[in-house]
Amino acid sequence: MSHSVPQHIAIILDGNGRWAAAKGMPRTYGHTMGAKNVETICRAAGEAGVKYLTVYAFSTENWGRPSAEVSAIMDLLRNYLKTCRKIAKKNNMRVKVIGDKSGLDEDIQHSIEDIEGFSRDFDGLTFQIALNYGGRDEIVRAVNRIISDREKGLLDSKAEITEEVISSYLDTAGIPDPDLLIRTSGEERLSNFLLWQNAYTEFYFTSVHWPDFNENELKAALDEYSLRNRRYGKTEAS
Ligand code: FPP
């Protein structure tokens, strides 16, 4: 059955910098307001019946930004993760981080372990934050772990490598693929986000900058989604 509410929404939050520039403010102000908006949209998505929400907070390519901006974003994420216990508890939200955590500062890695452990059994929205994430990097890490597990005998060396095996080695193991991908701020690219998982996903693009993507904008995206006739390959989803 095709669902009118997507089970899993993935969001490429774009346009924080342009939003701030349009107001004559520094880019970091845009990131601060963008981070606030993440909280708003998590709550709204949960209330709308969405079960999984994944946001692209920091890509493997984002390290190439000016170092002051990278530090400001990392500080925002650091602070967010610290206050996350309260938000998770209030919204009954399970928090997970995907991406190469080994490339993050140790205190951030520690906060991630803390919040993932704390919120593990919350059964409202599952909120996945993509941090130091790249879709190709995720696939490369998965393949290397498959090889290493085979060498160690943890994975049957004669068994066929199937789509299910690969999926189970991705950072998103156990999480259903996104039904809807939203990208804000007018760009219409995937930018290395969930390459494997977005194989059949509906894409929704809007020119609205991320800090302005409010509950009404989310509702517009959900309305558009519910109107689309979902097709898998040649057969109608049923
Ligand atoms: C998007 O706008 C900004 C980012 C992808 C990096 C920062 C993300 C956040 C602050 C969100 C924080 C997330 C959580 C989980 C709290 P941009 O800088 O690409 O804008 P531009 O395209 O206008 O330059």
Nearest ligand 1 atom to alpha carbon 13: 1
Backbone angles phi, psi at 213, to 5 degrees: -80, 85
* pLDDT reported for residue 234: 46
143 C-alpha to ligand 1 centroid (Å): 29
Give the active site residues: 14, 62
Ligand 1 pocket test target in 11, 12, 14 with most atoms within 8 Å of CB: 14
Q: DSSP for 16-58, please give it.
A: HHHHHHHTT--HHHHHHHHHHHHHHHHHHHHHHT--EEEEEEE
Please state which architecture CATH assigns to domain 8-134+176-237: 3-Layer(aba) Sandwich (3.40)
**What's the CA gap between 192 and 202, in Å, rounded?**
16
Amino acid present at 235: T
Q: Is the CB of 14 under 6 A from ligand 1?
A: yes
Nearest ligand 1 atom to alpha carbon 76: 10
Rounded to 10 degrees, the C-alpha dihedral 71/76/78/80 comes to: -170
Domain spans, the chain: 8-134+176-237
- In terms of Cα–Cα distance, which of 166, 165, 101 is closest to 128? 101
* pLDDT reported for residue 157: 87
pLDDT in tens, the chain (238 residues): 456 899 999 999 999 999 999 999 999 999 999 999 999 999 999 999 999 999 999 999 999 999 999 999 999 999 999 999 999 999 999 999 999 999 999 999 999 999 999 999 999 999 999 999 999 999 999 999 999 999 999 999 888 999 999 999 999 999 999 999 999 999 999 999 999 999 999 999 999 999 999 999 999 999 999 998 655 554 454 4
* pLDDT reported for residue 221: 98
